[in-house]
Structure 1
């Protein structure tokens, strides 16, 4: 197996020069080309563990997500892993199942194993476990500690969702979803929806819960039954996520309600399972590749600068509308 000395000898440079190149320091263009050619010729693989000991880095990052089954979280994981891989950093995926105890265990593990940083998507109360000396970037949730915060423009997404339904002919709107009792930016979707309706004098109904999922499911069934029986006059629905939208679609179809003829339906996320499958669900699309890139960029800057030298960053990523078959 080739060593760094072998690379230096073939490239006709010093071991120190090869080390500088491998650690990301700038070298002369002629030197860079010679070192890269030598690495390729010898099939040299740097010892990332030895490198980590010298730099006090593990070249690993933990990603906390509530569920691998959720399309948005799955897509986001893919793009975060790609962005980290380009920087030579390994991803440790922690599927928390939206469970507080699991989240605490994973955060503790990350701290004890001295990973370089954490990207967290959590809707639980784990603030006290996020210490100020940890490099942490949060998506959709602001922590009280020294963490960066990346989110979609959720307020504008909710506002635009209501606007599109109204402009497409819906006159009685509803917002459907289940949220966390802890403050997070996704609740801004509901705020944007309500503000549009109130500014434009559009009647609206809320089927929204922050309690248990069982309570929400019961609330949703009652809501759909009221629509089917005519007790509620709803002809346009915006949901908190695509998953909620697909469940609403299923329940309405079971009761003989046609979409979009009787009721228009818009989800939120716009995650694509396959680029070859036509878009079915109309949705407010989160720009997942940009969210992932922003999260990785902020985390690496925080790791490199150190928490004490890094001001808190809050970035909002613009949303867009994907028109599918559930709106007119």
Structure 2
């Protein structure tokens, strides 16, 4: 049986009161240096590890932030989680990763944890109707989604990204553009990708076809609707997919029909995801500055926790076009 030292063991070893050990561990002011030295020496000798969770209950802080995601299988969400954990660690905070798998009840459970002070704050990517579960007492930062209540959120310039995708398709020689993507009943900046795409093409005198489906939607439904669109509009030679993950699906579906990319249909996605953190995915896409967005979300939520600031902040980050192998060389 492995011996796990307790705070009482540390106090006994150091020859000080239990309260003195607690004050040293929590960096309380006014503790004599001699006491600090004794306690630290005892901690080292006994290999004592403080119970961070128990400390958090006493000081109303667990130094833990929950990141609520729809799915960790999505490359965009996985990469975002990586950077959130990285920047939280730099601030001496821990990450609780909450993968709710499109289950609103699971989201509600994590929000309840925050109300019980088991976690300090929430960073979330959610598309569900959770307004009634949020209140001013939960430090929260949303990604893309905005709410009726004035909750802070971080997003990219989605409207400009949609315009940029349309501009690049036309630059690459596309004459008959199309759009494929999904939208949600709840308001989200992501929907502005479709609006920006549509308005740029209208300004340039182009019409476009689209598959714009209300979530939730299956991949099978997206594939079926895409081919209905192509059967009705065989002249389509360029498609803007509103996420990179969708672009990869579309590329595979086209290959099954022996439609070559980019020779017959050019594709541009949105996100700028990577298969790993050292190489590009290889597709043409509108890149969001994911590390900067994650860092901003972390700074915003910690500011809310430590400075008790509850005013709304909105941060939008510029996007850029990345040339890849799903568009023709120009």
Given the two structures, how large is their TM-score scaled by the length of structure 1?
Answer: 0.83
Moved more, 129-138 or 37-46: 37-46
Evaluate the alpha carbon distance shift between residue 49 and residue 254 of structure 1 in structure 2; reply closer, same or farther with a 3 A threshold: closer
Residue 262 of structure 2 corresponds to residue 260 of structure 1: yes
Corresponding residue for residue 172 of structure 2: 168
Evaluate the alpha carbon distance shift between residue 196 and residue 259 of structure 1 in structure 2; reply closer, same or farther with a 3 A threshold: same
Mapped partners of 1:39, 1:318: distance in 2: 52
Residue 182 of structure 2 corresponds to residue 182 of structure 1: no
For 1:284, what is the secondary structure of its paired residue?
A: strand
For 2:122, what is the secondary structure of its paired residue?
A: strand
Contact 1:207 1:220 in 2 (8 A): no
* 1:1-328 → structure 2 map (5 Å cutoff): 22=27, 48-49=52-53, 51-214=55-218, 217-218=220-221, 220-227=223-230, 229=231, 231-275=233-277, 277=279, 279-306=281-308, 309-328=309-328
Mapped partners of 2:136, 2:232: distance in 1: 54
Evaluate the alpha carbon distance shift between residue 47 and residue 218 of structure 1 in structure 2; reply closer, same or farther with a 3 A threshold: closer
Q: CA deviation at 1:117?
A: 0.6
For 2:79, what is the secondary structure of its paired residue?
A: helix
- Structure 1, gaps ≥5 residues long: 9-13, 26-33
Corresponding residue for residue 30 of structure 1: none
Mapped partners of 2:58, 2:109: distance in 1: 28
Q: CA deviation at 1:175?
A: 0.9
Contact 1:79 1:292 in 2 (8 A): yes
For 1:164, what is the secondary structure of its paired residue?
A: helix
Mapped partners of 1:15, 1:211: distance in 2: 54
Mapped partners of 1:56, 1:190: distance in 2: 43
1:87-126 Cα shifts (integer Å, max 9, x gaps): 2212111111122222222222332353111111100001
1:293-320 Cα shifts (integer Å, max 9, x gaps): 11110000011121xx432100001212
1:46-76 Cα shifts (integer Å, max 9, x gaps): 5534643453211111111000100010011
Mapped partners of 1:282, 1:15: distance in 2: 58
Q: CA deviation at 1:219?
A: 5.5
RMSD: 3.3
Q: CA deviation at 1:133?
A: 1.1
Moved more, 42-51 or 95-104: 42-51
Q: CA deviation at 1:286?
A: 1.4
Q: CA deviation at 1:174?
A: 0.8
Mapped partners of 1:226, 1:84: distance in 2: 44
Contact 1:279 1:323 in 2 (8 A): no
Mapped partners of 1:66, 1:206: distance in 2: 25
Evaluate the alpha carbon distance shift between residue 259 and residue 51 of structure 1 in structure 2; reply closer, same or farther with a 3 A threshold: same
Contact 2:183 2:213 in 1 (8 A): yes
1:201-240 Cα shifts (integer Å, max 9, x gaps): 12211111114414x743642432552x474321111111
Corresponding residue for residue 29 of structure 1: none
For 2:196, what is the secondary structure of its paired residue?
A: helix
Contact 1:76 1:289 in 2 (8 A): yes
Evaluate the alpha carbon distance shift between residue 297 and residue 276 of structure 1 in structure 2; reply closer, same or farther with a 3 A threshold: closer
Evaluate the alpha carbon distance shift between residue 233 and residue 298 of structure 1 in structure 2; reply closer, same or farther with a 3 A threshold: same
Mapped partners of 1:54, 1:276: distance in 2: 42
